[in-house]
Structure 1
């Protein structure tokens, strides 16, 4: 009888020796600190300009800061200003933002100043977008350009992942978000070695980016909502209803995205598309009020400080108006990301659920609604869970969020994403 020999496969991939990881520390530290400082600098400049445009200037003119007239004028003017940048500045402020996600391509250096200028004007002017996508794109472009020249022997793929991790760490004030995004991206690619070996350099960059932002700007995402006690059966039922409902609402915007984008594209010129988008955003601001302006992070804090200060109908109006404003701003050509305004949509929806059914704890309503909206808008599962959890800072809500993510994910997986291909069709 022939004797069969079997060869046992290794239980796991071999780990990398320390000497293979040590050379990545210095590049990761430099990229992390530089990416954070660029983010903080652009944000600070935009905030100062915002104070002028929405404070000093209307006060000097004797116009109400949040009057319908001023909101409309400012949003149309912002559309004109960004349109001029897209039209005239070299590089045209980068590719169509509807085609970009968090994993930005390495853009040529000539494109980056115009993209930064368009982003700062957008952040100050009031459209409902955040800084994440363009800031990641700028940091990726700078890191790739400088890194390949200063360290030509380093892998070319190193610089984009370091810059992306550093920027995400800076945006959220913690490297955990960066590690989650990178690990989710690595899950779909061939990977050499252990997961933590592959995460070592990105996590270093994300840590340095987060610590730099924390030391310089002191960011916080905790809304200060009342903490939850021990979860009950009713809390689980509420989580399993709110998160899928929020995901369905977010998917309405996702399905409308290519059609709204195509409508603005028919105008063919940035000096028509962006002012027209500003006019629509001005009309939406008149309907939803000033809290539906800007990226939404400060405005979310204002909602959370007084969860009982608005009726369910008012929360519902703010939810729908902010979602529509996000859809229009992302479609007409403003440079910006969708995570922060999606957080506002989820927060307003969660507080609406609490106002309709007082038995729904406000922390639970906000966390599960933010989770559902982010799953639909970003299709980033770990980031959605992480963001929802840190907003309420309540350990009791974590298990409920994991349970709520399952039906919400079933509703969004395999569906079109809120990102378009070059031909205008939605990515999947």
Structure 2
């Protein structure tokens, strides 16, 4: 959403109350859509990674099975991108969390490509595609049912509802949209502008919580006392994690160009799937999928991993994120970035056991998330969310300062749409209207 777009009218008490009705509806629908995508992906995932291997008598964690499944996933996603109407929308490497609505005809193919990638173990999250799907679909529907509601406001409400559902709390949406609102010219109270998106975010969050109970929280040892050494440790770990993320952002355009040199989308994602399969065979099942449950598993079972094993996980997941995002798969970069940050924190705690695990993991998550999202609020929020400990908050508020200076002038983990050339006459773009 650009600050150059027409400014929304200043809200009044009456308009806020009236807009709360469509906001609740939009939030609920956004949560239901996310739940449906997650459930469908989980159903296919169980079939591919549990039922089918059991029927064949094979070990789903074996390297050859991981390689085969990811390669087939790459082929399936590529066929969806190349052959289905709309070509699964724009390349996710070129999209931010909130962008211009797509044509409704693009959405089915985008949903198919997203579900296949999530179920197959691709190292991307659902955030970018599901926000695009909800915002585009609801903008079209509300445009017919509530013509008085501006399309831009519908997009904000749909994005808010989806973000609230993704993170299980409307606070995440408030933090994300604080930056967007701050970029828009005009007066008025900040909370007047956030009121309707927050209503939608709360409705989406409550809907998803009632259906699926999403949570970033990881069971960790108790942390009850802040020390100066803990603050120093967070500063160092956060900066290292940010540096890793910036290194990935630096090489991302080269990875993207390499895969997009392939003429046909199906061959591009097939190559990406094969590369992801080989990486998964090296790193093991812990390095697959979007990384939310795998993050909890890694931190809780950290004693089972040696320092070299943790380092391998960080490297493999980082390369997997670059490959998945660069080879035409549809998905977001936030969830795998959070996993990488947690892995960096776990590695730091293993190298220096005196560093409390909650501090190390929160700082790693904050640093890596900041490098990928360029949003200090959401980076701090997720860092605190994984620990569920408010004592971590002041530590991260200090640790974010040097990391923010690091990212200010650094490359962005995003490909400019202008730099993306069509990969075939049939296109992999399926662009917006």
Q: CA distance change for structure 1 residues 149 and 16 in 2, over 3 Å: closer, same or farther? A: closer
Q: Distance in 2 between matches of 1:251 and 1:24?
A: 40
Deviation at 1:61, TM superposition (A): 1.4
1:11-26 superposed matches below 5 A: 16-26=11-21
What residue in structure 1 maps to residue 28 of structure 2?
33
Deviations, residues 113-166 of structure 1 (Å, cap 9, x unaligned): 110111000000011000000000000101111111111122221111001000
Q: Does 1:329 align with 2:324?
A: yes
Q: Does 1:314 align with 2:304?
A: no
- Please give the root-mean-square deviation of Cα atoms over the aligned residues, in Å: 1.3
Query: What is the DSSP-based 3-state SS (H/G/I as helix, E as strand, rest coil) of the residue aligned with 1:423?
Result: helix
Deviation at 1:414, TM superposition (A): 2.3
1:299 to 294, 297, 307: 294
Q: Distance in 1 between matches of 2:282 and 2:399?
A: 32
Q: Distance in 2 between matches of 1:154 and 1:240?
A: 45
What residue in structure 2 maps to residue 340 of structure 1?
335
Q: Distance in 2 between matches of 1:304 and 1:178?
A: 26
Deviation at 1:104, TM superposition (A): 2.4
Q: Distance in 1 between matches of 2:274 and 2:100?
A: 31
What residue in structure 2 maps to residue 243 of structure 1?
238
What residue in structure 2 maps to residue 414 of structure 1?
409
Q: Distance in 2 between matches of 1:163 and 1:118?
A: 21
Question: Relative CO higher for 1 or 2, CA cutoff 8 Å, sep ≥ 6?
Answer: 2
Q: Does 1:162 align with 2:157?
A: yes
Q: Does 1:227 align with 2:209?
A: no
Query: What is the DSSP-based 3-state SS (H/G/I as helix, E as strand, rest coil) of the residue aligned with 1:157?
Result: helix
What residue in structure 2 maps to residue 7 of structure 1?
none
Which of 1 and 2 has greater Rg? 1
Q: Does 1:59 align with 2:54?
A: yes
> Quick check: 300-309 or 176-185, which moved more?
300-309
What residue in structure 2 maps to residue 370 of structure 1?
365
Q: Distance in 1 between matches of 2:178 and 2:164?
A: 14
Q: Distance in 2 between matches of 1:108 and 1:17?
A: 32
Q: CA distance change for structure 1 residues 17 and 152 in 2, over 3 Å: closer, same or farther? A: closer
Q: Distance in 2 between matches of 1:203 and 1:22?
A: 13
What residue in structure 2 maps to residue 11 of structure 1?
none
Q: CA distance change for structure 1 residues 108 and 16 in 2, over 3 Å: closer, same or farther? A: closer
Q: Distance in 2 between matches of 1:343 and 1:153?
A: 39
Deviations, residues 280-316 of structure 1 (Å, cap 9, x unaligned): 1111112111100000011111112222221111111
- Structure 2: 5+ residue stretches without partners: 1-8, 421-433
TM-score normalised by structure 2 residue count: 0.93
What residue in structure 2 maps to residue 279 of structure 1?
274
What residue in structure 2 maps to residue 132 of structure 1?
127
Contact conserved, 1:307 with 1:362, CA < 8 A, in 2?
Answer: no
Q: Does 1:70 align with 2:69?
A: no
Structure 1 runs of 4+ off > 2 angstroms?
A: 14-17
1:48-127 superposed matches below 5 A: 48-127=43-122
